[in-house]
Amino acid sequence: MTDLDFKLNKHFYENIDLVKNKTSRYKSRISRSKSFLRDATKFSKTDLQNKLKSLTSNPSPREAVFLLRNLLNSGVWIGQSTLRYLVSMIDFTNKGDLAEMTPSQASILKRVSQGNTIEEFSDEEIFKTIYNEIEYSFYYPDHKPMLEIPRLNCTLVLVPGVFNELFSSAAFERAAIHLQEKYGIEYFTPRVNGFKSCEHNAKLLDRQVKSYVRKHPKQKLWFICYSKGGLDSLHFLKENADFANQHILGISTIASPLLGSDHLNSRMFKVLNSVHNFSDTKIYKALNEKTDVMAKEFQKSISSTFQRPWLRKNHEKLPSKLFYTAIGFESEWYQSHVWMMLAKGFLKSNMKNDGVVDAENSLFPYYFDKGTNLGIIRGHHLVGTRSSYFCQEALLESLIIYLNYKGLVS
């Protein structure tokens, strides 16, 4: 056989392998989108049945609103899932394929899997390498990841963010359910009020978290906090340092405005907030007492003019035995949820952002040496919703692997 024959033969089999890989990934995309549609139908049906039952047994405007909310959310979820499924069936491309792994990334994964020390790479580089590997294995199940999920002997505490009441489940609860069903990892979601201040929600957390600990005294807790839930939790930890040092392993914030939001200092919000000049009127007081629709204290809590100095003043008062990690998101307007597209239009920013929170404000500042920033990843501010196509499961699994590697959870 001549050299030309060898080259042609090699080229032929390389093309065969390429077609096989494309076919495998095509099937994986269909399978993933089909499972999303199946879950959307299943959970929407259950939710609507439960809400209809609640409305029938306890007729009230509140229950009717909840039913309408679920009808809207379910319709959007099923509609999006159906569209994704149809698109996946006609999309025979390499979109979403992982780029060739670099020697550095392969080295990181190998040493993490073996528990060996890594000094030449940052925490952000280590975490992102873990995340890329785990995320890819979710999108393409035929890829066997180099890392395994360790056993976790703690309970996850999911603290939701702003206006979580608009959604049918807590942020990242879909991922928590996945961890519970696959690995037996327990979680609970304390109730906070999306319209209230950090101080108010810190008291709600105080009552619910301590109640959980009384019922499960031997169980350690790991706070996973989304958006303003991170601020609420920091306020709770500051007021309960001794309790936290004894019962809480650490806190991981996701898209939390740790340094506050600059948007509330914009001209648009200043005009809207001129309504507070009428705070002494009966109409204002009536609206504010019943619904807190004016959200004055809530706005103060997330404003950068309040949160930046609060963290600077109180960071040394936070519990010393806990770990603190932070992750931010960034996305272009065309990569976002429709609500985030609108948000980017109204809340304009020159900095990288996820539609609501500026990326650099979602990371711990330089002076907070207890904090570990795990970087900015692609995603908009609503990726934690149940209907999001974002791989929440990969994000939480990656956090578990990273924290276990660092010896912070076990």
pLDDT, averaged per 10 consecutive residues of the chain (410 residues), comes to: 54 57 70 74 75 77 73 73 76 59 91 94 96 90 87 94 68 92 94 87 97 95 95 97 98 93 56 52 58 60 84 96 95 52 53 74 94 92 79 95 94
In a domain, 311, yes or no: yes
Q: Are 106 and 72 in the same domain?
A: no
In this structure, the answer to whether residues 140 and 153 fall within a common structural domain is no
**What is the crossing angle of helices 304-314 and 228-239, to 10°?**
30
256 and 363 part of one domain: yes
* Residues 71 and 177 reside in one and the same domain: no
Q: Is residue 81 part of a domain?
A: yes
d(CA 360, CA 259): 8
Residues 306 and 339 both lie in one domain: yes
Residues 235 and 176 in one domain: yes
Give the domain extent around 110.
Answer: 99-148
Q: Are 63 and 212 in a shared domain?
A: no
In a domain, 410, yes or no: no
Q: Which residue has the tokens 């029938």?
A: 56
Which pLDDT belongs to residue 194? Answer: 76
Domain total in the chain: 3
pLDDT at 306: 85
Q: Is residue 264 part of a domain?
A: yes
Same domain (yes/no): 309, 275: yes
Q: Rounded to whole angstroms, how far apart are CA atoms 155 and 10?
A: 53
pLDDT of 304: 79
Place of tokens 């609507």: 48
At 272 the pLDDT is 47
Secondary structure of the chain: what % helix, strand, coil (to 5)? 60, 10, 30
Q: Are 280 and 371 part of one and the same domain?
A: yes
Residue 37 lies in a domain: yes
At 292 the pLDDT is 55
> How far does CA 156 lie from the centroid of its chain?
13
Are 34 and 183 members of one domain? no
pTM of the model: 0.80
Residue after which a domain boundary falls, among 72, 90, 108:
90
Q: What was the pLDDT predicted at 328? A: 93
Residue 119 within a domain: yes
Same-domain pairing of 136 and 11? no
Q: How far apart are CA 117 and CA 120, in angstroms?
A: 10
Are residue 228 and residue 203 in the same domain, yes or no?
yes
What span, in angstroms and rounded, lies between the C-alpha atoms of 159 and 172? 9
